[in-house]
Structure 1
Amino acid sequence: MGNNNNNNDEKDIMETDEDLSKKFRLKREITLLGGVSVIVGSMVGSGIFISPVGVLRNVGSIGASLGIWLLCGMVATFGSLTYAELGTMIPKSGAEYPYLREAFGPVPAFLFAWTSSIVLKPSAVAIIGLVFGEYVVRPFFSDGDVVPAMAIKLTSACAILLVGFINCYSVKIAERIQIVFTVAKLLALFIVICTGVYALSAGLTDNLESSFTGDIQWSTIGTAFYQGLWAYDGWNQLNYITEELQNPFVNLPRAIIIGIPLVTLVYLLTNTAYLAGLTMTEMMSSRAVAVTFGTKLLGAMSWVIPLGVAISTFGGCNGYTITGPRIIYTAARNGHMPEVLAMVNYKRITPVAAIFFNTLIALLVLVPNDFDSLVNYFSFSMWMFHGGSALALLVLRRTQPKRYRPYKVPIFIPIIVVVIALYLIFYPIITQPAWEYLYAALFILSGLLFYVPFIHFNIKLEFMEPVTDFLQKLLQVAPVDAPLPKDT
């Protein structure tokens, strides 16, 4: 079985652009630069502008907080290297979905697709969109005014809709936007870093000189890791679009090796800049540390920071909208979701139905606006599937030892990822029990209520056929590898 899969995968990878143009399917349009931009642009969202305070508050030591940021970078690196082997061994879009399916069967894969499609990916878009909305709307109000929640939500909704439209229109344009916004957000962080270097040269070194004074708060160090890892989230995004990446055997590991260390270095330098420019009191009392930093040190140029956050979060929304719908598309292609979600627009060659579905759920998630619950749910559920994917690699090493692996990671790395995932799953449940975690587990398992009748027993709903026909005409989509309509 492994050899057959391997032969089919290699055949798909080796097909030329001319071969692909004769078939109705998604094209390999993402370049190496585009792949690096997807990784970096998805990781550098709102977290680095906000999370440093949460890390510092929960760990209680400046030196330890920098250590947390470094360790989080290592976790992201280990996770991405694990996914590099999985992605080159199983070169299919959808990341965790095909990996869990090959190692453990259809049920865990379906539960991932169910949870990711309904909550994880749309919630990520909504969370980043809310931060975008707040930073865009804030300049129109005085410092003492409360920004209306409805204004933030409407601005966020407009950004989410715009990004959804761009991704429906063209993968290539979405890639180019991702590259431009990634460069812009790195430039904003470069300004912060340069300002921090200036502060250090001016003698503002008190925080760093006393970096290891004070006791480390071991009881909340896990929460500090959650805050840091939230800023690093996105390290696995390129695996969601493997089938659209040019030469994935080479470019997937290469993009990871370039992107993750780059983000880690930028995050460490940015945190050092914050600590050089702000006192501990200013850091701990700040809601958005980057804005506080800019107001104090950049003077008339302080507007650069809110603009940088807006650019960063818009790019983050675009990155997650490029990748998230591919889970829906891949699951539907395997019969785990409605048929129409596996169809592609025959004019734009984009998975319009899956993008539309992802965007709609993200807009619905905006309504409650419960940011903290979203983050808790997102982080808890996400690491269940990260750990499951790392475990899948270990299982496939044992069950398919002779399978072709263009890139092979040292075995201790996925083992470490599994151990870290177990810690991050059980730590919040043990130390800070909350209903969100029970709701998360129940929601994941509730997917079985759909899987058993509609997939396992293949029960067909009569109304779905006319609905599919209607949506197929409305969205101008057709099944992959189907004959193209004559008017195209």
Structure 2
Amino acid sequence: MDDGSLKKEKKESQNGSTGHRVGSQAKDQKPVKATVLHKEVGLVSGICLIVGTMIGSGIFISPTSVLLHSGAVGPCLLIWTACGVLAMMGAFCYAELGTMITKSGGTYAYLMESFGPIPAYLFSWTTVMVLKPSSLAIISMSFAKYASTPFYPDCPPPVLVTKCLAAAAALLIVTVNCLSVKLASYVQIFFTGAKLFIIAVIVGAGVVMLAQGKTQNLSNAFEGASQSFGAIGLAFYNGLWAFDGWAQLNYITEELKDPHRNLPLAIVIGIPLVSVCYVLVNVAYFTVMTPNELLLSPAVAVTFGDRVLYPLSWIVPLFVVFSTFGAANGSCFTAGRLAYVSGREGHMVKILSYISLRRYTPAPAIMFNGLLAIFYIMPADINTLINYFSFTQWGFYGLTSLGLIIMRFTKKDLHRPVKVPIVIPGLMVLVSCYLVLAPIIDKPEVEYLYCASLLLAGLLLYIPFVHLKVRWGRKLMGPITMHLQLLMELVPPEKSE
């Protein structure tokens, strides 16, 4: 049989299969969906993703670092407010980037567009392998601690119980996110509503305390304020860590309905809401606790509830559990999208870019993030790991803001539905440089060198497998990818039109 006959036969076969599919579709009246991530996240879900990821357990458990370094109530409240303004400035930069470059992946996509593959790869390497899964692990551990405490009233929960419960929570969250985007969005909406409810309860109780004249801790609010420039910088650093999450919606731009409208609108609504909540909750704490008492309390919201809400004080730890679960769900949701986009661009193994044929979710990427999180739950202490790596996060924020400035001159033809004054990304670059250098200069430790070494170690994989495209890696992953496809019903994503 000659080549012409082969081509003719192949074409007829394709036409036949296409006709069968069309006829079947007409019969069942069910349109065939493209194998891509679908736009199922609306404005409310977007706001809940921002708010629910930003508000984790920190504001309820231990908002002491800002007070410790600022030295007094007045500077503490001002720093919380200023951190909200800085988070808003960063989010405005990301709003311009997200409406100009409508790809999922957030910082990864913007670094790829402005600086090329190497900075983008280093960001994905650090975030996918360390920051995102360790963050999910820490939040899951907080959830497990507060969920298990009622069962051990006379002693702390056993470490084994806490770790097993944290792993179970991570598995449940991964399952929810693999099953359905809508289900994960509904979970996020519910738990965001729960945490806003308990914040409203705490703020309302604080207003009642203020009306009763409980203002002694707020008088002379600047007495004893820290005069150290380095200490104030560390207070800002800890406050901004509590606000981290303002860029989460940019990770799922491809799944956001009408991103040109909903992305900036969700940012404008979500971040000021979190800022107001943080300031008002801190004011409420100071109505019943002195600064020293707040610094010594292991869980500030629980102490507040015991003093003000008794006999209903049990609702505070319950809603802390809800809050941590919602934050973990949001973290898992966005982490999966970053791994998915990295795999699609060839910076991670290709299987991470595959989509569930039935569920239309990036199931392999979500599972990979969950498995790493469970691995990070196993060590005795992972807080140190993410604390030392947090300086890299602000380094990438600064680099992304610099990229925004550069693209104003190098890519003037790109459509910009949102355009912020150039002074805002300029300030973000300066703030990021300070936040990266401040902890290292103030307290240089060898752990920062380890983190930088691990960051650069990603190049050892990038050069052979991404840049040079060494073939034996493909030969190793080929059979694994094929078997995972068959087992999990996975397909590569179709190219969007």
TM-score (norm 2): 0.91
2:204 partner letter:
C
1:205-228 Cα offsets, whole Å, 9 max, x none, are: 011112111131523222222221
Alignment of 1:438-453 (within 5 A): 438-453=449-464
Q: In structure 1, which of residues 164, 171, 180 is the aligned counterpart of residue 174 of structure 2?
A: 164
Residue 50 of structure 1 and its aligned partner are, at CA, apart by: 3.0
Q: In structure 2, which of residues 483, 487, 495 is the aligned counterpart of residue 470 of structure 1?
A: 483
Residue 368 of structure 1 and its aligned partner are, at CA, apart by: 1.3
1:125 partner letter:
L
Partner of 1:421: 432
1:254 aligns with 2:257: no
Residue 382 of structure 1 and its aligned partner are, at CA, apart by: 1.0
1:282 aligns with 2:293: yes
Which moved further from structure 2: 278-287 or 232-241?
Answer: 278-287
1:441-463 Cα offsets, whole Å, 9 max, x none, are: 11110000000000110002222
Q: In structure 2, which of residues 210, 215, 226 is the aligned counterpart of residue 200 of structure 1?
A: 210
Q: Would the aligned equivalents of 2:149 and 2:156 in 1 still touch at CA under 8 Å?
A: no
Alignment of 1:222-237 (within 5 A): 222-237=233-248
Unmatched 5+ residue regions in structure 1? 1-17, 483-488
1:368 aligns with 2:367: no
Partner of 1:346: 357
Alignment of 1:27-42 (within 5 A): 27-42=38-53
2:47 partner letter:
V
Separation of aligned partners in 2, 1:382 and 1:120 = 8
Q: Would the aligned equivalents of 2:134 and 2:382 in 1 still touch at CA under 8 Å?
A: no
Separation of aligned partners in 2, 1:139 and 1:436 = 36
Residue 474 of structure 1 and its aligned partner are, at CA, apart by: 1.7
Alignment of 1:168-247 (within 5 A): 168-218=178-228, 219-247=230-258
Q: In structure 1, which of residues 93, 103, 106 is the aligned counterpart of residue 114 of structure 2?
A: 103
Residue 476 of structure 1 and its aligned partner are, at CA, apart by: 1.3
Separation of aligned partners in 1, 2:363 and 2:396 = 26
Q: Highest CA radius of gyration, 1 or 2?
A: 2
Residue 340 of structure 1 and its aligned partner are, at CA, apart by: 0.7
SS at match of 1:301: coil
Residue 58 of structure 1 and its aligned partner are, at CA, apart by: 1.3
Q: Would the aligned equivalents of 1:46 and 1:231 in 2 still touch at CA under 8 Å?
A: no
Partner of 1:142: 153
SS at match of 2:311: helix
SS at match of 2:64: helix
Q: Would the aligned equivalents of 1:376 and 1:436 in 2 still touch at CA under 8 Å?
A: no
1:112 aligns with 2:123: yes
Residue 362 of structure 1 and its aligned partner are, at CA, apart by: 0.6
2:325 partner letter:
F
Partner of 1:486: none
Separation of aligned partners in 2, 1:50 and 1:410 = 37
Residue 21 of structure 1 and its aligned partner are, at CA, apart by: 5.6
**Identity value in percent:** 48
Q: Would the aligned equivalents of 2:75 and 2:225 in 1 still touch at CA under 8 Å?
A: no
Residue 52 of structure 1 and its aligned partner are, at CA, apart by: 2.0
Partner of 1:398: 409
1:32 partner letter:
L
Q: Aligned residue pairs: how many?
A: 464
Residue 318 of structure 1 and its aligned partner are, at CA, apart by: 0.4
Structure 1's 21 and 436: CA in aligned 2 closer, same or farther, altered over 3 A? farther
1:272-326 Cα offsets, whole Å, 9 max, x none, are: 0001121223112112111111111111111111111100000000001111111
Residue 63 of structure 1 and its aligned partner are, at CA, apart by: 0.2
1:99 partner letter:
Y
Moved over 4 A (4+): none
Q: In structure 2, which of residues 82, 92, 108 is the aligned counterpart of residue 71 of structure 1?
A: 82
Residue 435 of structure 1 and its aligned partner are, at CA, apart by: 2.4
Q: Would the aligned equivalents of 1:226 and 1:379 in 2 still touch at CA under 8 Å?
A: no
Q: Would the aligned equivalents of 1:47 and 1:230 in 2 still touch at CA under 8 Å?
A: no
Separation of aligned partners in 1, 2:391 and 2:53 = 19
Q: In structure 2, which of residues 278, 284, 287 is the aligned counterpart of residue 273 of structure 1?
A: 284
Separation of aligned partners in 1, 2:146 and 2:309 = 17
Separation of aligned partners in 2, 1:249 and 1:74 = 22
SS at match of 2:416: coil
1:26-62 Cα offsets, whole Å, 9 max, x none, are: 1000000000000000001112113421111111011
Separation of aligned partners in 2, 1:111 and 1:243 = 22
1:190 partner letter:
A
Partner of 2:134: 123
Residue 369 of structure 1 and its aligned partner are, at CA, apart by: 3.7
1:373 partner letter:
T
1:372 partner letter:
N
SS at match of 1:52: coil
1:409 partner letter:
V
Residue 374 of structure 1 and its aligned partner are, at CA, apart by: 3.0
1:307 aligns with 2:325: no
Partner of 1:479: 492
Partner of 2:10: none
SS at match of 1:239: helix
Separation of aligned partners in 2, 1:371 and 1:302 = 30
Separation of aligned partners in 1, 2:345 and 2:125 = 13
Alignment of 1:51-90 (within 5 A): 51-90=62-101
1:156 partner letter:
A
1:159-205 Cα offsets, whole Å, 9 max, x none, are: 11101000000000100110111011000111110111111111110
1:365-395 Cα offsets, whole Å, 9 max, x none, are: 1111424313413421211111111111011
Separation of aligned partners in 1, 2:461 and 2:227 = 44
SS at match of 2:114: helix
Residue 22 of structure 1 and its aligned partner are, at CA, apart by: 4.1
Unmatched 5+ residue regions in structure 2? 1-28
Partner of 1:412: 423
Q: Would the aligned equivalents of 1:83 and 1:239 in 2 still touch at CA under 8 Å?
A: yes
SS at match of 1:447: helix
Separation of aligned partners in 2, 1:440 and 1:474 = 36
